[in-house]
Every structure is written in structure tokens, then in C-alpha cells.
Amino acid sequence: MEFNVDFEKTVSVPTQSQQFAPTPMVGVERIMFERLGGEVVKRATSVVRYQPESYFESHVHAGGEEFITLSGVFSDENGDYPKGVYVRNPVTSTHRPHSKDGCEIFVKLGQMPESENQTSFVLDTTQAKWRKEDNGIASLQLWLSEYEDTQLIRLPAGSVLPEQQFDAATEFFVLDGSIQLNDEHLDTRAWARVKPKQSINIRSKNGATLYRKIGIGFVRS
């Protein structure tokens, strides 16, 4: 399967067009934003929903795994990750994920370089120190490398960001609230990726929290 993996195109999956689809595991569903490969993927970006007491069999993340919990508590043998916790499990890591009471996560698979193969990185974004600007906008650096610049950005109501343009494709996921991204309205759980060198204009009438990744991570052939 190839879905939204042409990084030279601007693409989006607005909230109103999203539908959860079943996975091979009972009680686990997903919304696909980008995907390359079948059940053993080379690359994927999705929202995954676990019903109470559901689980995925133990599996290896050959290209690493990155996720942030959107609701509920996501768990594996290494710990519990409530809403707002951001995790990077390194290349070749293994786990058996599950959820006791149900949860949703935003997750990216197969996008880490081979050098990111040591230990997991865990950050509770609800307790971390955000960098605040004079206009009330706040940001939190999640990860920075030669392959990506990943942040959370918190926009108060009425925010208008200066026009930006990046040499790499830039990805957005709306954690809460809503934004206007260029000519498109994006509500909570909407996803978009803007092609390289395209102007980016963002404003938020009622406030929002965004996940933003500049760069497409490590791309496997």
C-alpha cells in the first residue's frame, strides 16, 4: 500500500473525512494519514484507538516508533503513558502494547535513523517547561536532529503566525482546538503535510495545540 507518501505534494486528512478502520487485532482500530507497506510497514503515520482491555501482540519496530497519547492511558511492559506523554521507542525496539480502559494515540512508525537505536525517550508534555513568547504562543521541543525538528505549539485564541517557508516538508497534527492552515480549516485530530518551500500561514480563532514536524524523518527505500 502507498498512501500519502509523495513528499513533494501537499496533502491533508481533515477530521470530517476520517474513519476508523479495523486492524488485525480485535478492539484496535486506526485512521491512516500516510502508509507505505502492508501490516509490516516500512513507514506509517496514524491515529490508533484501543478499546478497553485490547492489545497488540508483541512486535518489533524495525524503524522505530514515535507516539503521543491523545486520550486515556496507553501501556506496554515498560510503563503506562497517559494523555500528553510523548515517547520515542528506538530502532529494533520490541513491545506488547495494550490499554486497560481504552486510549487513542498519534503514532509514527519507521521514520527513525539507524543511529537512533539506544534507549526510549519519554517526555510528559503536561509537566514539561514550555517556551513562552510575548504574543502568548508557547512551544515545546520534542526532538531535534538532522532529520527532523519536532515541536508542540500552543496557540491562544486569535493567534496569527507570521508566514513561514521551510526547505523540507512540514507536517501538522491538531491535538486540540482548530486552525486555518493556508486555505484549509483543520479541526482536532486533523493532519496535514505541506510540501517543501510552500508558504505556510496559520491562524487560530479559538486556540489550538499543534504537533509540528519540519522534515520527514529518515526515509527507507
Which residue range is the domain that position 196 belongs to?
131-214
pLDDT higher than 90, residue 221: no
Instruction: Check whether residue 140 and residue 43 sit in a common domain.
Output: no
Instruction: Check whether residue 111 and residue 161 sit in a common domain.
Output: no
Count up the domains in the chain and report the number.
2
Q: What 3-state class would DSSP assign to 17?
A: helix
Note whether residue 221 is domain-resident: no
Give the pLDDT confidence score for residue 70 in this predicted structure.
99
Tell me the per-residue pLDDT of 198-216, one tens digit each, with 9 for 90 and over: 999 999 999 999 999 999 9
Measure the CA–CA gap between 112 and 166, rounded to whole angstroms.
20
Tell me the per-residue pLDDT of 56-108, one tens digit each, with 9 for 90 and over: 999 999 999 999 999 999 999 999 999 999 999 999 999 999 999 999 999 99
**Contact (Cβ atoms closer than 8 angstroms) between residue 81 and residue 29:** no
- What's 101's domain CATH number? 2.60.120.10
Instruction: Check whether residue 21 and residue 42 sit in a common domain.
Output: yes
Q: Are strands 28-37 and 179-181 parallel, antiparallel or unpaired?
A: unpaired
Tell me the per-residue pLDDT of 134-172, one tens digit each, with 9 for 90 and over: 899 999 999 999 999 999 999 999 999 999 999 999 999
Q: Please give the model's pTM, rounded to 2 decimal places.
A: 0.97
Phi-psi region of 156 (alpha: psi -120 to 50; beta: other; left: phi over 0): beta
